[in-house]
Structure 1
Amino acid sequence: MKTGTLKQILLITDGCSNQGEDPIAMAALAKEQGITVNVIGVMEHDVIDEQGMNEIEGIAMSGGGVSQVVYAQQLSQTVQMVTRKAMTQTLQGVVNKELQQILGGEKTMEDLPPEQRGEVMEVVDELGETVELEVLVLVDTSASMKHKLPTVKEALLDLSLSLNARSGDNRFSVFVFPGKKKDVEKLLDWTPKLESLTSIFSKLTTGGITPTGPAIREALTYFKKKRSLRSLLSRDDDESFFEESV
């Protein structure tokens, strides 16, 4: 089975967008481009209101990803769980497409006899450990996130450690919204590890609007730039990408 790079946007926020494009529509566009959008809603002592909950769930659903709302102290394990769950979900979708080509019709893993289904899941698990992964993290830095940012930093460091235990290559990039001078600002370019976040996060300022839609749009643009540059520089024309997230 030919696999390529698994691409995810990980959105960490604590409320509703209030500026720019509809984030749910932007997430749907991401899915069309083969990028899964996962969303983690972070609570402290407060709660996320119904509108915020609907938006978090809607973004993940449109983006073919996973959503979870957690208290700040549970963030680290949740970030890892959501990222890996979304990987498995996407890989199962890829495997199901292969099965449909082989078996015809609308057959999926669930239609296989238990023994064969187990063998296919072993393939999915193995792919989850070996596939290349790119995660672009979008961190909400609006005023209400101020006291949660240290926890976000620790969660991202733990995510980096966890994913780098796999044999597959990982690349991370981090953007914040709102930025100092514009809606979205790049904090960290593509890197295999996130240790440098320790010094960068302490300098972050919070406040202002919550432009979630523009943040997702910027993430898509950034993925596209990376892809264009890779095709320009790479001599390997065979590199493939997952074209669809499930």
Structure 2
Amino acid sequence: MLKQILLITDGCSNVGMSPVIAAAHAMEEGITVNVIGVVDHGELGQLGSQEIIEIARAGGGLSRIVSSRQLSQTVQMMTRKTVVGTIEKAVGKELRNILGDDQITQLPPAQRAEVVHVIDEMSENSAMRVALLVDTSASMKPKLAAVRDALQDLLLSLRARAGQSEVAVFHFPGSLSGEVEVEMDSPWTQDLANIHKMFYKINMRGTTPTGPALLNVVEYVAEKPSLDSSKDGILGDYVV
């Protein structure tokens, strides 16, 4: 199963561990981290953009800096592009094991075409899980309507795939008390029927614990035993 995290943020984390370290941990777990930055102009936007690039690089994924109106199209594009990229790496690794490094580039055109066809088929039919992690700090408030629209469009896009696709949604920071760094809005699902209600009652604050939030989601996607739904924490009580 292909696993990836899609982080939507304006950058500039200011609480807890580095999100770059959390993204590197995700890569070790076989989880790709992609980052879409919805940033403003000015010095703060430049700092946020640099962090966004570094998180994606550490997580083996892609990064894009976009405006709110470009968000929906970018979410779909990045999700599909990284699926293809992940499969290309896996197929390339198998070919190197079978043929050796020097032989891959020497495949006849017909055989190279077969490899491309296999990649296309796997991209469309492989099971996939996408965990969406949304920054809901105070600076993101004007952008949340665009985020909701983007999530709805992503679900429509994933439903069109032949392979099984599931999505989970999280936001950070968590509770107003500050004790929860990230909260779950939806566990793994193929149908976000209440997408329009997400983020509706969130108390938006200035803190941005991107690193701790990302690490929590990595553990959820990797199905770590510590994040048991029977215990307190991000799985204990989610919003729908």
Flag whether TM exceeds 0.5 (same fold). Answer: yes
Contact kept in structure 2, 1:174 and 1:187, CA below 8 Å:
yes
Counterpart for residue 122 of structure 2: 127
Most deviating of 81-90 and 180-189: 180-189
What displacement does 1:80 show?
A: 0.3
The counterpart of 2:212, out of the listed 214, 234, 237, is 214
Q: Residues 1-246 of structure 1: matches in 2 within 5 Å?
A: 5-43=1-39, 49-105=45-101, 108=104, 112-180=107-175, 181=177, 182-225=180-223
Q: Percent identity over the alignment?
A: 51
Structure 2: segments with no counterpart, 5+ residues: 228-240
Contact kept in structure 1, 2:39 and 2:48, CA below 8 Å:
no
Contact kept in structure 1, 2:139 and 2:206, CA below 8 Å:
no
Task: Give me the whole-angstrom Cα distance separating, in 2, the residues matched to 1:71 and 1:21.
Answer: 27
Letter matched to residue 173 of structure 1:
A
Name the count of aligned residue pairs.
224
Task: Give me the whole-angstrom Cα distance separating, in 2, the residues matched to 1:138 and 1:69.
Answer: 16
Structure with the larger RCO, 1 or 2 (CA within 8 Å, 6+ apart): 1
Letter matched to residue 116 of structure 1:
Q
Q: 1:202 to 1:131 in 2, by over 3 A?
A: same
Letter matched to residue 164 of structure 1:
R
Find the residue that maps to 1:83 and give its secondary structure: helix
Most deviating of 192-201 and 94-103: 192-201
Task: Give me the whole-angstrom Cα distance separating, in 1, the residues matched to 2:101 and 2:117.
Answer: 23
Find the residue that maps to 2:60 and give its secondary structure: coil
Contact kept in structure 2, 1:27 and 1:59, CA below 8 Å:
yes
TM-score (norm 1): 0.85
Letter matched to residue 197 of structure 2:
S
What displacement does 1:37 show?
A: 0.2
TM-score (norm 2): 0.87
Contact kept in structure 2, 1:14 and 1:48, CA below 8 Å:
no
Structure 1: segments with no counterpart, 5+ residues: 230-246
Contact kept in structure 1, 2:23 and 2:56, CA below 8 Å:
yes
Q: 1:179 to 1:101 in 2, by over 3 A?
A: same
Letter matched to residue 39 of structure 2:
M
Find the residue that maps to 2:207 and give its secondary structure: coil
Task: Give me the whole-angstrom Cα distance separating, in 1, the residues matched to 2:40 and 2:16.
Answer: 26
Q: Which contiguous aligned blocks of 4+ residues in structure 1 show a shift greater than 4 angstroms?
A: 44-48, 226-229
What displacement does 1:53 show?
A: 1.5
